[in-house]
Chains A and B, each alone.
Chain A
Amino acid sequence: MPRLRLLFLLALFPVMVAGAQLGLRAAGMEYCLTQLTMSVYYALVVMGLCLLMGYAGQVSLGHGAFFALGGYTTAVLTTHDFSGIRACAGVGVLERAGLLAAQQDLYGQAGLSVAPWAAFAAAMLLTFVVALLIGYPALRLRGHYLAMATLGFTLIVSKLLLGSALTGSADGIHGVPEWKLLPGLTVSGRSALRVQAHLKEHRSRATGGPCRHRVHHGRSCNRLLDAKRPDADRRRHADAVDLLDPPLPKAVRRQVGRLDLPAKDKQLP
């Protein structure tokens, strides 16, 4: 019986995803899809947090750091140019195995970066290892001390990411390549595909001006649908750099406001 229920839920899931998609589109409320996307990847982070807090009973204020580490790892690996190591032995093998992929940067320069799926795996692995390393000593602590340790860890990670040139300092990383899951189905955070009403609202609130919503329509239903895929989205949001969520709610809110800012494109010389 439980198996039947599971199957039913599994079948219900795509129906709900497609239903939300089509329903909101028909109602002209695509902006809600952007919100749904955000809530889904927050939900994913919270699922991880629940594992720790709910099952293990430990207080963690440091989960935003893992979120950030994952996002930054994929963003760095997929945008950084590794063509300097082309001469090394074994690089050709990696390239043929699909671990490395040729990329073009904003200026049309060819480069060699890690393939999105490999970066995804690397990000999970790295975050796992970091969590083990920090978890081993931290879980000796109790109550408020553990809360402080995890909070401190988050602040350290956030400052290191902000201070390092590799992670783009305060500007972050943009131009993260799309992740092709299936033919015609990609995960991307291209700003043109995103619905920006949230940004407008945010701005008009800041300036106190009248709130005028201007909705950019997503071009491809397929891609918008695809952007709802939670597992992909957590790690592969194009503006992965803005995913850093310090644990204070105020900061979270500010980050949420920032998530929708379109990726800043470099000015061509």
Chain B
Amino acid sequence: MQNESLALQYLLSGITKGSIYAVVAIGFNLIYSATGIINFAQGEFLMLGGMVAVTLAAYVPLPVAVTGAVALVALVGGLLELAFFRRLRRHSILHLVIITMGLSIVIQETALHIWDEKVRSLPYFTGNEVSSVRFLGAAISPQVLWVLGTVALAVLGLHFFLRYTLTGRAMRACSSNPEAAMLAGINIPNMRTLAFGLSAALGALAGCVVSPMTMTHYEMGAPLAIKGFAAAILGGLGNPMAAVAGGLLVGLLEAASVSCLPAVYNDVSAFVILLLVIFVRPQGLWGALAPDRVREH
């Protein structure tokens, strides 16, 4: 009984972490499908979301603060595309990777100057630090439910948007065949800006809901970006739903590793398994290896 509830506890913590990685991975995917860029500044969107929400929460009620943060960060994401990537279309994968890494540092340092190096957090959405919900013998914080619920809603919403709305379908058209989409009258640069904004908004939302549990710090972005990238690769780039599965897998692997190995090795086992998977399946678990999907880099 004791062991079962412990296993369940690890499982839940893995799912919680994994759902955050999943959101980051979806962000990677959205931008990758629309532009072919892997945006290593993806983690900074979470950090910015948390930071802005914490600042706003001092003046306005929490829901307004979160909404405001999401809107503001989406704007930042769109502006990044307008300012940098619109001009850098013809660059190699390596240039773009270095540029996004550079942007990530710039955003971090800017955040350090706007706020400071202190760790902040939003208040718990319901309850407080010590309140917990019993679930099949495991105790979970109500915030975990908020995280899982928000992520699930966001994923569903995104799925609905990409599949059933005109704008979403136009965005998918851009990623599957830019030339044809252009001929069909879709404004591709605008779609790319929208993809950046959407991806930033998703990241900011995730940054807000995890803030009470993991705290918000100006350096929190980079590790999240690496894990999210791993999740996106594990699932297969260009497939947002595979990214969700990839994210959950990475989170669960981490939790499993923490349960039986020293904590310092928690990344090791996750990355070893990731490497083994992509060595066997070079296109990720659910990625397509159709040659026309591989862009010229």
Contacts and interface: CB of A to CB of B under 8 A. Distances in A.
Interface of A: 53, 59, 61, 137-138, 140-145, 147-149, 151-153, 155-156, 159-160, 162-163, 248-251
B297 A148 contact: no
Interface in B172-229: 219, 222, 226, 229
Given A59-B93, A59-B94, A249-B102, A148 B264 contact: no
The list of the 7 closest CB pairs from A to B, nearest first, reads: A163-B264, A137-B279, A152-B271, A148-B233, A159-B268, A156-B271, A141-B282
B238 to A, nearest CB: 10
A142 B282 contact: yes
Chain A contact residues: helix, strand, loop or mixed: helix
B276 to A, nearest CB: 9
B226 A159 contact: no
B294 A53 contact: no
29 contacts: A59-B97, A137-B279, A140-B282, A141-B282, A142-B294, A143-B297, A145-B233, A145-B237, A145-B278, A147-B38, A147-B97, A148-B230, A148-B278, A149-B278, A149-B279, A152-B271, A152-B275, A155-B271, A159-B264, A159-B268, A162-B264, A163-B264, A163-B265, A163-B268, A248-B40, A248-B222, A248-B226, A249-B102, A250-B222
A144 B233 contact: yes
A250 B108 contact: yes
Contacts of B265: 159-160, 163
Given A142-B282, A148-B233, A156-B271, 13 more contacts: A59-B97, A140-B282, A145-B237, A145-B282, A152-B230, A152-B271, A155-B268, A156-B272, A159-B265, A159-B267, A163-B264, A250-B104, A250-B108
Contacts of A153: 271, 275
Interface in B88-114: 93-94, 97, 101-102, 104-105, 108
Contacts of B61: none
B94 A53 contact: yes
Contacts of A137: 275, 279
Nearest to B234: A148
A135 B259 CA distance: 31
A160 B268 contact: yes
A209 to B, nearest CB: 15
A151 B295 CA distance: 21
Contacts of B271: 152-153, 155-156
B47 interface: no
Contacts of A144: 32, 38, 93, 233, 237
A250 B268 CA distance: 21
Interface string B238-270: 000000000000000000000000101101100
A141 B289 CA distance: 11
A140 B279 contact: yes
B76 to A, nearest CB: 19
Contact of A248 (B101, B267, B278): B101
B294 A145 contact: no
A72 to B, nearest CB: 16
Contacts of A249: 101-102, 105
B274 interface: yes
A141 B278 contact: yes
Nearest to A58: B94
A248 B41 CA distance: 11
Contacts of B262: 163
Given A145-B282, A159-B265, A250 B105 contact: yes
A152 B97 contact: no
A211 B236 CA distance: 49
A156 B275 CA distance: 10
A152 B230 CA distance: 8
Contacts of B102: 249
B124 to A, nearest CB: 30
A152 B234 CA distance: 12
Interface string B109-133: 0000000000000000000000000
Contacts of A138: 275, 279
A48 B222 CA distance: 26
Nearest to B274: A152
B13 interface: no
B284 interface: yes
A248 B40 CA distance: 10
B224 to A, nearest CB: 12
A155 B222 CA distance: 13
A56 to B, nearest CB: 13
A256 to B, nearest CB: 14
B5 to A, nearest CB: 28
Contacts of A162: 264
Contacts of B38: 144, 147
A155 B226 contact: yes
Contacts of A148: 229-230, 233, 274, 278
